[in-house]
Structure 1
Amino acid sequence: MAQHLRQSLGDVDQALVHALQIAPRASWARIGTALGLDAVTVARRWQRLAEAGAAWISCHPAPALADSGQGCLAFVEVDCAPGHLPDVARALAAVPHVAALSQASGDRDLLLNVMARDLASLTRWTTGDLAALEGVRAVRTHLAARVHTEASRWRLRALSREQVALLTADEPQRRTATPAFPLTALDQRLIAALSVDGRAGYRTLAEQCGVSPDTVRRHVRRLFAADLLHARCEVARSLSDWPVGVTLWGRVPAARLGEVAQRVTGMREVRLCATVLSRHNLHLVAWVRSLDDAQRFEIRLAERAPDLTVTDRAVALWPMKLSGHLLDEDGYRIGATPLALWDEEGVSGPT
């Protein structure tokens, strides 16, 4: 069965993945209703996909967390000494605050998405632990000023409009009236646990975190209601119609940056768009159909946002880690490193 999954993803499985991208923690009964299947069937199909590493659900800190003054995000380029790339990549894949890691083409060997408590801790890690890692030759850091869109909003688009409407009708809207709040130590542990299994139930999470299911339910619901945590369903990229990942850096006149970012986020291929503070001021990640389509994507990008000048580009040769999940060369999940923004000593108490 795993071999079959490596060749194709059927219509029903594509619809299931799309449904879970919309409502990652919805009950199987609700997912089944939207797909016209019973709950047992959709649960069994999901288990088969997950066991094959073809699809998975994780959770990650949302941009609103950084907006509230808790944490920051950086895109880091790493150059490796000849012959050291595999060892450096393995070491970085095990780091809890390295959320994403790819071997990349162009003028860098590795691309990292790094989370940190603040600029000071980010600086200590990049100039200390990272720079001192054997085999690391150079490090360049691009600080994210604002994340305009990220991959939890990306969709496979296998469902009809009616099915999408059915799933979104009961799905809580982001940016509710619940204000951001300081994360507790328990919130941190819950984020780490949910980053590995975004569909983990309250009882399972309670056992992992050493508290009651009611306490877990209250904390998890509050995290999602305040838009501090996003769940997302991912699919092995080789099973989608978008198997090639590209990263683009660009420059936009400062006065036009917000409008250009808004235009770019509306493109289907775009999974991440962030304004950055570096020699570039816009950072994009997109999934495209082929290497040739990567060039066509740039043409479409120029038509949609003529004020944007692409200054550098890279192709993900091997996306090794995505939102904490470890991937093989074909993009299948083979494990996970729980995400962690910072040590628990740096957050408030457990209640």
Structure 2
Amino acid sequence: MSRSAQESTGQASAEHLLRTEQPESLDELDYLLITALQTSPRAEWAQIGKVLGVDASTAARRWHRLTEAGHAWLSCYTVAVGPAVPIIAFIEVDCAAGALHDVAAEIADDPHLITIEHVTGARDLVLTAAFPDLAMLARYVGFRLGRLPGVSATRSQTATAVHTEGSRWRLDRLDPDSHDLLAKDRGPAMPRRGLPAPDALDARLYLLLSEDFRQSAASLAERLGVSPTTVRRRLDRMHRQDSLIYRCEVARHLSGWPISVTLWGIAPAGETSRIASQLIRMRETRLCASLTGPHNLMLTVWLRSAEDIAAFEARLADRFPELAVADRAVALWQLKIAGHLLDPLGRHIRGVPVTFWEDPTAHRTEQALLHRLRTPR
């Protein structure tokens, strides 16, 4: 083995040792800190420390420890994609025996894949993806995903409405007064869509924010080669437009809610909005979307135990007798959440900035097909 390879292996072993030596539990201050950052992700450490009853350096030091262990992390992506509303698609993937992990690794860095989950039931992987239009969804499924070795079938559905998503979920460890202090400057409950398309500088700023949205305007300005005033002005505009989605996540096995279940339901067309408006108020709800497929409602919930699955469905049946749960799947491994890759226990590995997918190879393949279609036989 070469010296560089030995050094690389040694570094990886050291990182693994450091991570495994981290305590696999969180104390109450950890939970309070995560909840505070979920409530106000860009709050100053001094403000967070005041709410938690610790000094700013203690809060910052705690957060550093959590992120180093992969127990918690921050993410940021934008919904400013131009005047059109982006297409949110849920893609089910069936894999050949033994190919699932190779397929997942191959698509892990596809930037438009927001979530990748290995689940139980009638599909192997469930992907959540964003596209600028339906044509790009068709290109991805037909000329990228469907042609990968090990992929045996795909099924796609698009969301007609996303009623809530994971950035709104909270651990809810703060008392009401502390929550109100942090949430007083927070924007609308859900991000707006159909915003003006970002220019080149906005796009570069989004990428830097996806790395660490808590870095200062001065640091961002230095990396962008512009003045801090320009950065602050653009950040102010983005916040006024509510064009950024901030998330603070916690490793699921440490969250107190280790079971993630996705339910597909059928509701009367005229009742879907009413039912969804109540589902999103349920403590367990992480995602609720209306769909175009045979099941017109999709719900992802986090539960405290596997035994709670039946009890949760019983609550749904009691509250919404008109809603029929047609299928369900339990997440075995959430490989990617909001653009961040995770290990089997839900600990953070690394981030993948969320952007729209572009693939010259798929584009050329599509063009070749169009050429064939234009040529009479």
TM-score, structure 1 length as denominator?
A: 0.91
1:35 paired residue number: 52
Bigger Cα displacement from structure 2, 304-313 vs 82-91: 304-313
Specify the code of the residue in structure 2 equivalent to 1:224.
H
Deviation of 1:21 (Å): 0.2
Conserved 8 A contact 2:42-2:214: yes
Distance 1:130 1:193 in 2: 28
Deviations 1:256-314 (A, max 9, x none): 01000001001110011011111111111111111111221111222232221111111
**Contact 1:22–1:167 (Cα < 8 Å) also in 2:** yes
Please list, as runs of the form range in 1=range in 2, the aligned pairs for 1:43-122 lying within 5 A after superposition. 43-62=60-79, 65=80, 68-122=83-137
Residue 181 of structure 2: aligned partner: 166
Distance 1:67 1:212, change over 3 A: closer
Aligned to 1:349: none
Cα 1:13–1:175 change in 2 (3 A) is closer
Q: 1:217-237 CA deviation, whole Å, 9 max, x = no partner? A: 222332232122110100001
- Which of these residues, 348, 355, 368, is aligned with residue 333 of structure 1? 348
Tell me what 1:306 maps to. 321
Whether the aligned pair in 2 keeps the contact of 1:152 and 1:230 (CA below 8 Å) is yes
- For structure 1, which runs of at least 5 residues remain unmatched after alignment? 344-351
Aligned to 2:26: 9
| AA at the equivalent of 2:210 | S
Larger deviation: 212-221 or 36-45?
212-221
Q: Matched residue pairs, number? A: 343
The TM-score normalised by the length of structure 2 is 0.85
Specify the alignment match of 2:296 in structure 1: 281
- Give 1:43 shift: 0.5
Letter in 1 for 2:58: T
> What's the Cα RMSD here?
2.4
Whether contact under 8 Å (1:143, 1:276) holds in the other structure is yes
- How far residue 185 of structure 1 moved from its aligned partner, in angstroms, is 2.9
* Alpha-carbon offset, residue 193 of structure 1: 2.9
- The one-letter code of the counterpart of 2:167 is S
C-alpha distance in structure 2 between counterparts of 1:296 and 1:92, whole Å: 35
Q: Residue 319 of structure 1 is aligned with which of 312, 334, 359?
A: 334
Instruction: State how far apart, in whole Å, the 2-side matches of 1:54 and 1:305 are.
Output: 36
Q: Does 1:197 align with 2:212?
A: yes
The Cα of 1:115 is off from its aligned counterpart by 0.9
Partner of 2:374: none
Counterpart amino acid of residue 187 in structure 1:
D
Amino acid at match of 1:251: I
Asked if the contact 1:324–1:339 (Cα under 8 Å) also holds between the matched residues in 2, the reply is yes
2:145 maps to what in 1?
A: 130
Q: Aligned partners of 2:326, 2:211: CA distance in 1, in Å?
A: 35
Q: Whose radius of gyration is greater, 1 or 2?
A: 2
Partner of 2:247: 232
The answer as to 2:236 corresponding to 1:221 is: yes
Percentage identity across aligned positions? 47
SS across alignment from 1:230: strand
In 2 relative to 1, CA 244–207 (structure 1 residues): closer, same or farther, beyond 3 Å? farther
8 Å Cα contact 1:249-1:284 kept in structure 2: yes
Q: 1:117 to 1:176 in 2, by over 3 A?
A: closer
Any idea what the Cα deviations from partners look like across 1:126-148, whole Å, max 9, x if unmatched?
Answer: 11111111111101111011111
Determine if contact 1:104/1:110 at 8 Å carries over to the other structure: yes
Q: Aligned letter for 2:231?
A: V
